[in-house]
């Protein structure tokens, strides 16, 4: 069964306290993994695409990494403005490339 | 570049009423998608289109219809709204260049409440 699981569901950090979010998936023949950020009342905003195990991408305080079974979104020295829900998604090919989303990790960074 | 826009932003319907949600993109993308987002469920694909004049069913198509008469527009219709269709609806688009794993860009969403 196509599945994308994110953990934890929610994470509360102090400003400057680094941590990681996890996205695990079950799919054969990975065709990419996407990370999005979603602010309350807004649409998902694209962050990264990773295509192969060992790949890493960075943007400001965020770094995404990929293994054969999971991806991590590392947040280094977060700031309150990093508070958001982070979604990951994986394409599953079932006649059509369907993006399957995880339910997200709600991140709250306190000053 | 406005990207992906959606109208309306918010709507309240009574059970049995109909409405149409409009999505427009100015990125000349071939593919367009309609998702719904419900608490604890994640984003789920309702319908999608791989080009002007084409539509296809996604994961949860029942109770919805779509049309893509122009490349830049994708309409989602609810013929007879039900309380179970209370949700936040997102439109997305991608360039459809044939490569798997292409990025989808999302609109700001439409919040629909069906009473």
- Tell me whether A25 touches chain B (CB under 8 Å): no
DSSP B52-63: TT--EE-SS-TT
Looking at residues B20-31, what average pLDDT do you find?
95
Which pLDDT score, from 0 to 100, does residue B45 have?
Answer: 92
Contact call for A42 and B108, based on CB within 8 A:
yes
Looking at residues A68-86, what average pLDDT do you find?
96
CA A108 remoteness from chain centre: 15
Which pLDDT score, from 0 to 100, does residue A68 have?
Answer: 87
Range of the domain at A73: 3-110
Looking at residues B55-60, what average pLDDT do you find?
91
- Tell me whether B107 touches chain A (CB under 8 Å): yes
Which pLDDT score, from 0 to 100, does residue A109 have?
Answer: 98
Which pLDDT score, from 0 to 100, does residue A98 have?
Answer: 75
pLDDT band, residue A94 (cuts 50/70/90): low
- Number of domains observed in the structure of chain A: 1
Share above pLDDT 90 across residues of chain B, in percent, rounded to a whole number? 83
Chain B nearest-CA distance from A51, in A, is: 8
Residue B16 has pLDDT above 90, yes or no: yes
Looking at residues A13-33, what average pLDDT do you find?
91
pLDDT tens, position by position, B103-113 = 899 999 999 99
CA distances from A5 to A57, B23, B24 (A): 21, 29, 31
Contact call for B103 and A98, based on CB within 8 A:
no
Separation CA B37–CA B106 (nearest Å): 12
Range of the domain at B89: 4-96+104-114
Chain A nearest-CA distance from B103, in A, is: 8
Q: State the CATH number of the domain containing residue A94.
A: 2.60.40.10
- A-interface mutation test, from B41, B87, B101, most A Cβ less than 10 A away: B101
Q: State the CATH number of the domain containing residue B88.
A: 2.60.40.10
Nearest to B105 among A41, A46, A87 (CB): A46
Residue A45 contacts residue A36 (beta carbons within 8 Å): yes
Instruction: Identify the weakest region by mean pLDDT among A14-18, A27-31, A61-65.
Output: A27-31
């Amino acid at each position: 069964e196509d599945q994308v699981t994110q953990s934890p569901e929610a994470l509360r950090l102090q400003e400057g306290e680094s941590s990681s979010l996890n996205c695990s998936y079950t799919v054969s023949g990975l065709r990419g993994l996407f990370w999005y950020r979603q602010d309350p009342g807004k649409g998902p905003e694209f962050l990264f695409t990773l295509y192969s195990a060992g790949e890493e991408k960075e943007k400001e305080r965020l770094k995404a990494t990929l293994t054969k079974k999971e991806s991590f979104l590392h947040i280094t020295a977060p700031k309150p403005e990093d508070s958001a829900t982070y979604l990951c998604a994986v394409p599953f090919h079932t006649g059509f490339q369907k993006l399957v989303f995880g339910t997200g990790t709600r991140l709250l960074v306190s000053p | 570049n406005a990207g992906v826009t959606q109208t309306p932003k918010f709507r309240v319907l009574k059970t049995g009423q109909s409405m149409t949600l409009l999505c427009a993109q100015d990125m000349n993308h071939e593919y367009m998608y309609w998702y719904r987002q419900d608490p604890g469920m994640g984003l789920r694909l309702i319908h999608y289109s791989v080009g002007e004049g084409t539509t296809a069913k996604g994961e949860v198509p029942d109770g919805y219809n779509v049309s893509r008469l122009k490349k830049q527009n994708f309409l989602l219709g609810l013929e007879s709204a039900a309380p179970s269709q209370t949700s936040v609806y997102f439109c997305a688009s991608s360039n459809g260049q044939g490569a798997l794993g292409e990025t989808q860009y999302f609109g700001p969403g439409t919040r629909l409440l069906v009473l």
